[in-house]
Amino acid sequence: MRFVAESEHGRWGNTKYASAAELKLMTSLNGPRDSNISQLGWSLHAVDSESGNDSATNAFDGNINTKWHTPWGPDETQHPHEIAFDLGASYDITELSYLPRQDNSTNGTIAQYEIYVSTDGIDWGTPVSTGTWVNSKSEKSAKFDAKTGRYIKLVSLSEVAGKVYASAAEINVYGKASGQLSVTDIDLLGNENKITIYPNPSNSDFYIKMKNFETSNISIYDMSGKMLNHVTTDQEVFKVSNESILQSGLYIIKVVDETRKSHYKKLIIE
């Protein structure tokens, strides 16, 4: 692969210079990278420890300048350290990426690791990936054969300098939607007043109105739990053009807001 810079852009105008901090080709010997599973749908499932402002939720807030860090000093805990996420839906997961803290310290940078995937967040089975990451500030990745699950766990077995800490600036997960609504999701169905669907029942197009949402991840499921459609929008009212996509029957609309909270409504197509 060759990258050619034909011009420069900046306050100095067109100069003879070119520069780059990092270039990334998002493929590997194991094949292309699957889609990034949006962190907007995630929630923290479990963490063994965290410290003050360096909370576990910083590991999936989309901000590389925040971090999760285990305690130090009198409250420090020993390895292994672990952090687990609820991805909000079931996916065929193929990769986890880990970005170490991006400040001047390397404390907590994970060396030896294990990764687990689970359907229920209880039974984790054997790791889908194990290994040792190099000591650098760059993003590290672990790819593995696809495993279906809603929960993923990263376990830190050691730190690059042999210290007792673990830390992370950002953790991302890659895969493909398995298209299944879990029993946990269905149990949460109830009287939800943050979203409105109209007309409902509908015999053609319909609208989903989200109350005070900045960003919404919308999924449509049939009653078997199979995902039929998915879209992300920043619109307050989103139009669904139902051109024979949904046949007569009962459906579930799931909306995940920017705080990662899930909202549900039932939809009837006549």
29-177 and 183-269, same CATH topology? no
Cβ 270 vs Cβ 248: under 8 Å:
yes
Q: How many CB atoms lie within 10 A of CB 3?
A: 8
- Of the candidates 223, 200, 219, the one whose C-alpha atom is nearest the C-alpha of residue 263 is 219
Q: Which residue's entry shows tokens 């730190």? A: 159
Name the token pair of 44.
């923290």
pLDDT at 11: 42
pLDDT band at 27 (very low <50, low <70, confident <90, very high): very low
Where exactly are the structural domains of the chain?
Answer: 29-177, 183-269
Contacts of 57 (CB under 8 A, 6+ apart): 44, 68
Cα distance between residue 118 and residue 9, in whole Å: 47
Name the token pair of 186.
């269905």
Q: How many CA atoms lie within 13 A of 61 on its CB side?
A: 14
Please state, rounded to an integer, the average pLDDT across all residues of the chain: 85
- In CATH, what is the architecture of 29-177? Sandwich (2.60)
- Quick check: 260 pLDDT over 90? no
pLDDT digits (tens, 9 = 90+) for 142-152: 999 999 999 99
- Quick check: 243 pLDDT over 90? no
pLDDT digits (tens, 9 = 90+) for 68-116: 999 999 999 999 999 999 988 888 999 999 999 999 999 999 999 999 9
Cα distance between residue 139 and residue 123, in whole Å: 28
Percent of the chain with pLDDT over 90: 50
pLDDT at 79: 97
Q: How many CB atoms lie within 10 A of CB 169?
A: 23
Name the token pair of 149.
């699950």
pLDDT digits (tens, 9 = 90+) for 177-187: 776 665 555 55
Cβ 85 vs Cβ 45: under 8 Å:
yes
Tell me which CATH code domain 183-269 carries. Answer: 2.60.40.10
